[in-house]
Amino acid sequence: MKRIFNLEAKDFVGKKVKLCGWVENIRWHGKIFFFDLRDKTGKIQVVFQENKNKEIFERAKKIKKEWVICIEGVVKKRPERMVNPKIPTGEIEIEPEKLEIFSEAKTLPFPVETSGYEIDEALRLKYRYLDLRRERLKRNLKVRQKVIQFIREFLIKEGFLEIETPILTKSTPEGARDFLVPSRLYPGKFYALPQSPQQYKQLLMVAGIERYFQIAKCLRDEDPRADRQPEFTQLDIEMSFVETEDILQLTENLFFNLVKNLFPEKKITQFPFLRIPFKDVMKTFGCDTPDLRKEKSNPDELAFCFVVDFPMFEWKKEEKRWGAMHHPFTKPKTKDIKEIKENPQNILAHQYDLILNGKEIGGGSLRITNLDVLLAIFEVLGHKKEEIKEKFSHYFEAFSYGVPPHGGIAIGLDRFLAILLKEPNIREVIAFPKTGDSRDLMLDLPSEVSKEQLEELSIKIVERKNKK
């Protein structure tokens, strides 16, 4: 007999079915007992009666919570007084005629039928494969899939092409630290994991793709923060022959329609989204991530806005140098190279951030296509011309063959989903997250590797001396 899912059993009243799953709750009532069988679609009640099938009754008595089993039996209507309106299968139950035990289970380190908020997060992350059994996290993963599916369909209708870019790439001075990958075939040389697909998506514009998107993995070796991950997922978009407003309109239409279709219970405070210059938002709110909700205690209110016209550079006091406010490829609002070099503090950029309920969920910019301007930007950042031309030789070569004006935006899907699902942090919407200090407690990462592996890669571990 072919197995069906629990939720499908509603359509088989009076018929025999085969169900598989995990035993969740067990309720004893003398010579009759019940348990809830859980699969990916939900729970269904199974009833064992000694006077109906003593052999199965005796075998079932040994079953404990979270054992994995299979049953065959007839779907029956529950007595009216025993109907459970809280679950979709609350009007039916299964009376087994066959029972197979696939595997037993030790006592779990924590309950999985609760929300999980009451459990120490480190314990939950150590046993994440058990934590993911709880309904809340399954719901989060299902919603994540629906959101990504909607994004794909929306952008494809808008003429975008989804393209995967490489994970092994080149280390370049972009912003955060790179994760480096040693090359076995070329000792002493390294790949880098991408902080973003920034260079590749610009090269796709040179290639004439014109409209690109990707649900992209980004990896950054950053210092620990409570709500940050060393690897995260972003919606990456790039467009040719556009101005800032074209990108902002596409973005707000995407999110307006996404919320309207998938989260009809949510209320968007204002549409079109406000555009607020950086100078004004800092003066009014004292930060560049304003929370514009009218009722901040209402989690179903979504207040989007764009912050625009950022400074091109920011002064890094500790390092006593200029840094890029966004990234070095951002187009400044001037072509005057002398002005860029002599008065970097006055230069504004074609940069914009997308803010939701006081959180930055995305950002982007128009890109530099004038390589003399790009060199000037990197010089202000403290890099030498020769270094830049060497590290970005592919860039300079590609742009010499004709490059269209272009720009884009990247949206942090993890943070967006956490806000939509009213979760306290992004770890609740990621299947296998790291801790706030970038550790994987489940697989015990980062971990050491063997001496043989290091030798094969021509790598020697040098003990770090304590800084005084």
DSSP string computed for 101-133: EEE--PPPSS-SSS-STTS-HHHHHHTHHHHTT
- C-alpha angle 428/154/328, rounded to 5°? 70
pLDDT of residue 175: 62
3-class SS of residue 141 = helix
Phi, psi for 87 (deg, rounded to 5): -125, 150
**The token pair that represents 130 in the structure block:** 């058990």
pLDDT of residue 73: 96
How many CA within 13 A on the CB side of residue 11?
5
In the block, tokens 């029972």 appear at 99
Q: How many CB atoms lie within 10 A of CB 11?
A: 10
pLDDT of residue 209: 98
Q: Considering the entire predicted model, what is its pTM? A: 0.92
pLDDT of residue 465: 74
Please list the ranges in the chain whose pLDDT falls under 70.
173-175, 466-468
In the block, tokens 């489940």 appear at 442
Q: How many CB atoms lie within 10 A of CB 203?
A: 18
Question: Nearest Cα to 151, choosing from 142, 160, 164?
Answer: 160
pLDDT of residue 325: 86
3-class SS of residue 459 = coil
Gap between the Cα atoms of 124 and 143, Å rounded: 21
Domains and CATH numbers, the chain: 6-103 (2.40.50.140), 129-452 (3.30.930.10)
- DSSP letter at 115 equals -
Gap between the Cα atoms of 363 and 327, Å rounded: 11
Find the helix or strand (DSSP H, E) in which 69 lies.
strand 68-77
- DSSP letter at 80 equals G
One-letter identity of residue 165: T
